[in-house]
Structure 1
Amino acid sequence: MEGWSQTLGAAPLLAIAAGAVALILVLVIRFKLHAFLTLVLVSLLTAFATGIPSGSIVDVMLGGFGGTLASVALLVGLGAMLGKLIEHSGGATVLAETMIRIFGEKRAPLALGVASLLMGFPMFFDAGLVVMLPIVFAVAARLGGPVLLYAMPSAVAFSAMHVFVPPHPGPVTATELYGANLGIVLLIGLVCVIPTFYLTGVLWGRVTARKFPFTLETMGGIFGGDGEPVANPPKVGTVIAVLLLPMALIFLNTGLDFLRAAGAVDESAVWYGVLTTLGSSAVALLISVLVALLVLGSRRGENGSALEKIVDSSLGPICSVVLITGAGGMFGGVLRSSGIGDALSGVLGDLGLPLILAAYVIAVVMRVAQGSATVALVTAAGLMAPAVEAAGYSAGQIAAITVATAAGSVFASHVNDSGFWLVGRLLNMDVATTLRTWTVQQTLESVIGFVMAGALFLIL
Structure 2
Amino acid sequence: MTTPTLLLAAAAPALPHTDSDGQLLVAVLVSIASIVLLITRLKLHPFLALTLGSAVLAVLARAPFDKLLASFATGFGSTVAGVGLLIGLGAMLGKLLADSGGANTIADTVLARTGRRGLPWAMALVAALLGLPLFFEVGVVLLIPIVLLVARRGNVPLMRIGIPALAGLSVLHGLVPPHPGPLVAVDALKADLGVTLAFGLLIAVPTLIVAGPLFGRVAERWVGPLEPPTEAAPAADTVPHERSPRFGAVLVTILLPVVLMLGKALVDVVVDDPKAVLQRIFDFVGSPLIALLAATLLGMLTLGRAAGFTKAEISRTVEKSLAPIAGIVFIVGAGGGFKQTLIDVGVGDAVSTWAGTWHISAILLGWLIAVLIRLATGSATVATITAAGIVAPLAADLSTSHASLLVLAIGAGSLFFSHVNDAGFWLVKEYFGLSVGQTVKSWSVMETVISVTAIALILPLSLIV
State the TM-score, normalizing by the size of structure 2: 0.69
In structure 2, do the counterparts of structure 1 residues 68 and 232 end up closer, same or farther at CA, with 3 Å as the change threshold? Answer: same
Identity of matched residues, %: 27
Q: Deviations over 1:259-314 (max 9, x none)?
A: 3xxxx331133543333222212211211221222233335543222221121111
Whole-angstrom CA distance in 1 between matches of 2:367 and 2:138? 32
Contact between 2:75 and 2:338, CA under 8 Å: does it hold in 1?
Answer: yes
Equivalent of 1:250, from 237, 244, 261? Answer: 261
**Residue in structure 1 matched with residue 143 of structure 2 by the alignment:** 139
Q: How far is the alpha carbon of 1:224 from its aligned partner? A: 4.3
Q: Does 1:45 align with 2:59?
A: no
Contact between 2:348 and 2:392, CA under 8 Å: does it hold in 1?
Answer: no
Counterpart amino acid of residue 308 in structure 1: S
In structure 2, do the counterparts of structure 1 residues 327 and 441 end up closer, same or farther at CA, with 3 Å as the change threshold? Answer: farther
Whole-angstrom CA distance in 1 between matches of 2:342 and 2:301? 45
**Residue in structure 2 matched with residue 395 of structure 1 by the alignment:** none
Q: How far is the alpha carbon of 1:342 from its aligned partner? A: 0.7
In structure 2, do the counterparts of structure 1 residues 138 and 57 end up closer, same or farther at CA, with 3 Å as the change threshold? Answer: same
Matches within 5 A, 1:221-236: 223-225=236-238, 230-236=241-247
**Residue in structure 2 matched with residue 349 of structure 1 by the alignment:** 356
Equivalent of 1:322, from 321, 324, 329? Answer: 329
Q: How far is the alpha carbon of 1:3 from its aligned partner? A: 6.7
Query: Aligned pairs, how many?
Result: 409
Counterpart amino acid of residue 81 in structure 2: A
Q: Secondary structure at the residue paired with 1:287? A: helix
**Residue in structure 1 matched with residue 304 of structure 2 by the alignment:** 297
**Residue in structure 1 matched with residue 71 of structure 2 by the alignment:** 60
In structure 2, do the counterparts of structure 1 residues 382 and 8 end up closer, same or farther at CA, with 3 Å as the change threshold? Answer: same
Whole-angstrom CA distance in 2 between matches of 1:112 and 1:257? 35
**Residue in structure 2 matched with residue 389 of structure 1 by the alignment:** none
Q: Does 1:77 align with 2:88?
A: yes
Q: Does 1:153 align with 2:186?
A: no
Q: How far is the alpha carbon of 1:49 from its aligned partner? A: 2.1
Q: Deviations over 1:418-446 (max 9, x none)?
A: xxxxx96899689xx9xx89998776555
In structure 2, do the counterparts of structure 1 residues 458 and 287 end up closer, same or farther at CA, with 3 Å as the change threshold? Answer: closer
Whole-angstrom CA distance in 2 between matches of 1:438 and 1:70? 34
In structure 2, do the counterparts of structure 1 residues 81 and 366 end up closer, same or farther at CA, with 3 Å as the change threshold? Answer: same
In structure 2, do the counterparts of structure 1 residues 282 and 31 end up closer, same or farther at CA, with 3 Å as the change threshold? Answer: same
Whole-angstrom CA distance in 2 between matches of 1:129 and 1:281? 12
In structure 2, do the counterparts of structure 1 residues 428 and 256 end up closer, same or farther at CA, with 3 Å as the change threshold? Answer: farther
Q: Deviations over 1:387-411 (max 9, x none)?
A: xxxxxxxxxxxx9x88986665446
**Residue in structure 2 matched with residue 413 of structure 1 by the alignment:** 414
**Residue in structure 1 matched with residue 39 of structure 2 by the alignment:** 28
Q: How far is the alpha carbon of 1:365 from its aligned partner? A: 5.8
Matches within 5 A, 1:23-422: 23-104=34-115, 107-108=118-119, 110-111=121-122, 113-114=124-125, 128-130=132-134, 137-144=141-148, 150-157=165-172, 159-160=174-175, 194-200=205-211, 223-225=236-238, 230-259=241-270, 264-298=271-305, 300-351=307-358, 353=359, 357-364=360-367, 367=370, 371-372=384-385, 379-380=393-394, 382=396, 408-410=409-411, 412-413=413-414
Contact between 1:156 and 1:201, CA under 8 Å: does it hold in 2?
Answer: no
In structure 2, do the counterparts of structure 1 residues 210 and 331 end up closer, same or farther at CA, with 3 Å as the change threshold? Answer: farther
Matches within 5 A, 1:3-22: 5-22=16-33
In structure 2, do the counterparts of structure 1 residues 205 and 129 end up closer, same or farther at CA, with 3 Å as the change threshold? Answer: farther
Counterpart amino acid of residue 170 in structure 2: A
- Please list every run of 5 or more consecutive structure 1 residues that lacks an aligned counterpart in the other structure: 121-126, 176-181, 386-398, 416-422
Q: How far is the alpha carbon of 1:377 from its aligned partner? A: 6.6
Counterpart amino acid of residue 297 in structure 1: G
Contact between 1:407 and 1:445, CA under 8 Å: does it hold in 2?
Answer: no
Whole-angstrom CA distance in 2 between matches of 1:382 and 1:19? 26
Counterpart amino acid of residue 169 in structure 2: S
Contact between 1:153 and 1:202, CA under 8 Å: does it hold in 2?
Answer: no
Q: Secondary structure at the residue paired with 2:43? A: coil
Q: Deviations over 1:64-89 (max 9, x none)?
A: 22222223322221122112222222
Contact between 1:109 and 1:202, CA under 8 Å: does it hold in 2?
Answer: yes
Whole-angstrom CA distance in 2 between matches of 1:188 and 1:232? 37
Q: Secondary structure at the residue paired with 1:302? A: coil
Counterpart amino acid of residue 151 in structure 1: L
Q: Secondary structure at the residue paired with 1:66? A: helix
In structure 2, do the counterparts of structure 1 residues 342 and 193 end up closer, same or farther at CA, with 3 Å as the change threshold? Answer: same
In structure 2, do the counterparts of structure 1 residues 61 and 347 end up closer, same or farther at CA, with 3 Å as the change threshold? Answer: same
Q: How far is the alpha carbon of 1:143 from its aligned partner? A: 2.5
Deviates more, 1:443-452 or 1:336-345: 443-452
**Residue in structure 2 matched with residue 420 of structure 1 by the alignment:** none
Counterpart amino acid of residue 156 in structure 1: V
Q: Secondary structure at the residue paired with 1:349? A: helix
Counterpart amino acid of residue 130 in structure 1: L
Q: Deviations over 1:146-205 (max 9, x none)?
A: 877523323314634569x9xx969x9889xxxxxx99x999988765543333455667
Whole-angstrom CA distance in 2 between matches of 1:153 and 1:408? 18
Contact between 2:364 and 2:409, CA under 8 Å: does it hold in 1?
Answer: yes
Contact between 1:67 and 1:329, CA under 8 Å: does it hold in 2?
Answer: yes
Whole-angstrom CA distance in 2 between matches of 1:160 and 1:272? 26
Whole-angstrom CA distance in 1 between matches of 2:425 and 2:328? 7
Counterpart amino acid of residue 128 in structure 1: L
Contact between 1:150 and 1:205, CA under 8 Å: does it hold in 2?
Answer: no
